[in-house]
Structure 1
Amino acid sequence: MRNKEGLVDDLITSIPGEWKFDEQVSQHFDTHVRKSVPLYEEVQKAVIEISEWFIRDNSVVYDLGSSTGETISLLLQKHSRKKNVRFIGVEESLPMIEIARKKCSSELVQFLQQHIEEINEFANIDLVLSLYTLQFLPLWKRKKVLQRIYNGLVEGGAFIFVEKIRAENSLFEDIWNDLYWDFKQENGLNEQQVIKKAQSLRGVLIPLSLTENLSLLSDVGFQCMDTFIKWHNFAGIIAVKMPSKNDIEENTYLNTDKNNKIQQ
């Protein structure tokens, strides 16, 4: 039967085109993600380390698609000596949030049960994270979300996101996908589970190439971007909101005018 439910991990089932972060997935997410996402631990470590350049006293940090609160928990530990740093996790799955709240029991942490595209406005944000989340948004919604993130960041604030990506060339697409499937099987998933997971993500996970992701960031205003990690068909990107050219010219003019008045 075409839509027969099948195992995508030992304790997780799904059917083609209907992958959901439901209670079943939530209970086993932390284990499953390490089997199916390359360099997961390394990505978490890199994000936490990079955050040191952007989180200071009174900072506001958003984690979009915060799942079980793993990243916020690590950030909370890393920046525990700083004053009044607020962490806001946005997650549509209530079972995920329930786990996250137990993992991050602090008055500085808030979890919102919400679709990330429903956040109409961010304001005075120092750091926004989106780890393996934007890839689940329909393409027509991504640019709107990115624009709101850009608008809401303070100057010098950063957006860090990690995505599954498409190769720039069809030859590499085949190579990267084969190596990705090898990775999953080396981590304990059997061939049938790998196939069932791929089927469950049909039309649900829609990756873009690295170039297309960078182009989207540029379209919404980011000018300072770099790739901080890459593994075959996965990549992590950081984008920093820099002062606009007009702001730089205005500040230069004001400083010059001030110096002229002092000299007079």
Structure 2
Amino acid sequence: MGQFDSKPDAIFAEPLSKVSDFVFDQRVVEVFPDMINRSVPGYQSILQGIGQLTQRFAQADSVLYDLGCSLGAATLAMRQGAKDLAGVSIVAVDNSAAMVERCRLHLDGYRSEIPVHVECADIRAIEMANASVITMNFTLQFVPPEQRQDVLQRIYDALNPGGVLLLAEKFRSADPTMDAVLVDLHHEFKRANGYSELEISQKRAAIENVMRIDTLEAHHERLREIGFAHSQVWFQCYNFAALLAVK
């Protein structure tokens, strides 16, 4: 599940005179499966969990949303998890036209009775309703911090009672000493997956202005303020975590 063909990620392998802000463009699309599996510890386990949690929380005659769907790996997991439910449809949204185009091709390669609508749009502007499962798989961290509460409030309002938000994020520890340990462990993970020091350094410089990460405490507090009665980390590896929040 989520295993798509991919070119090796070598975007940051050569020295760059200027490291520009990270963009989900066609170059990234071509290497994205390799990039995310070598960069995000536990990614395949998170996808498997999304399928399991969808099976548990998806409701008949409701809509499932994958916000920031990239190439559709989480969408496929949700579709598999909801395969036995009647009247379910999925809306997958991403603001990268290159990602959306490739996502449609990937989804067309897997037969399913569940219809999926893939939309190129800003998740901050889409209309949502009658939702039982909403997934944000490493998406909220790219939303400007001052707009995150509003995005999550709109998600909460769209969820049916008993619906669930599945939120996976890179995070920072509130304890600087522990944060340094987690960062080092993540870099060791990337080295073990073949990334050089140059690649790690240049990727970090490219992404630091576009990905602002929160603490887990901040995530839980924000979810409580919005109205979620329950939130829990269900998976963590180093400074990457997946949470579920139930309405």
Instruction: Kindly tell me the number of residue pairs found equivalent between the two proteins.
Output: 233
Work out whether 1:225 is the aligned partner of 2:227: no
The equivalences for 1:31-180 within 5 A come to 31-105=34-108, 108-119=115-126, 121-180=127-186
Q: CA deviation at 1:11?
A: 4.2
Q: Is the 8 A contact 1:69 1:100 kept in 2?
A: yes
The gaps in structure 2 that reach 5 residues or longer are 1-7
TM-score (norm 2): 0.89
**Which protein is richer in helix relative to its size?**
1
- What's the C-alpha RMSD, in Å, of the aligned pairs? 1.7
* Paired letter, 2:115: L
Cα deviation, 1:95-116, whole Å, max 9, x if unaligned, reads: 1111111111267100111111
* Paired letter, 1:142: R
| Aligned residues with identical type, % of pairs | 30
Change (3 A) 1:134 1:86: same
* Paired letter, 2:123: I
Q: Is the 8 A contact 2:26 2:98 kept in 1?
A: yes
What is the alpha-carbon distance in structure 1 between the residues aligned to residue 204 and residue 57 of structure 2? 36
Give 3-state SS (helix, strand or coil) of 2:199's partner. Answer: helix
* Paired letter, 1:207: I
Work out whether 1:202 is the aligned partner of 2:208: yes
Residue 250 (structure 1) aligns with: none
Give 3-state SS (helix, strand or coil) of 2:41's partner. Answer: coil
Question: Bigger CA drift: 53-62 or 11-20?
Answer: 11-20
Based on CA coordinates, which of the two structures has the bigger radius of gyration? 1
Residue 188 (structure 2) aligns with: 182
Q: Is the 8 A contact 2:37 2:43 kept in 1?
A: yes
Q: CA deviation at 1:17?
A: 5.1
Cα deviation, 1:66-108, whole Å, max 9, x if unaligned, reads: 0001111232233333322101011001111111111112671
Structure 1 residue ranges (4+ consecutive) displaced by more than 3 angstroms after TM superposition: 11-17
The equivalences for 1:10-21 within 5 A come to 10-11=10-11, 16=19, 18-21=21-24
Q: CA deviation at 1:157?
A: 0.3
Cα deviation, 1:175-197, whole Å, max 9, x if unaligned, reads: 11111100001011111101010
Cα deviation, 1:101-145, whole Å, max 9, x if unaligned, reads: 1111267100111111112x4211101000000001111110010
Residue 262 (structure 1) aligns with: none
Residue 5 (structure 2) aligns with: none
Q: Is the 8 A contact 2:167 2:244 kept in 1?
A: yes
Give 3-state SS (helix, strand or coil) of 2:171's partner. Answer: strand
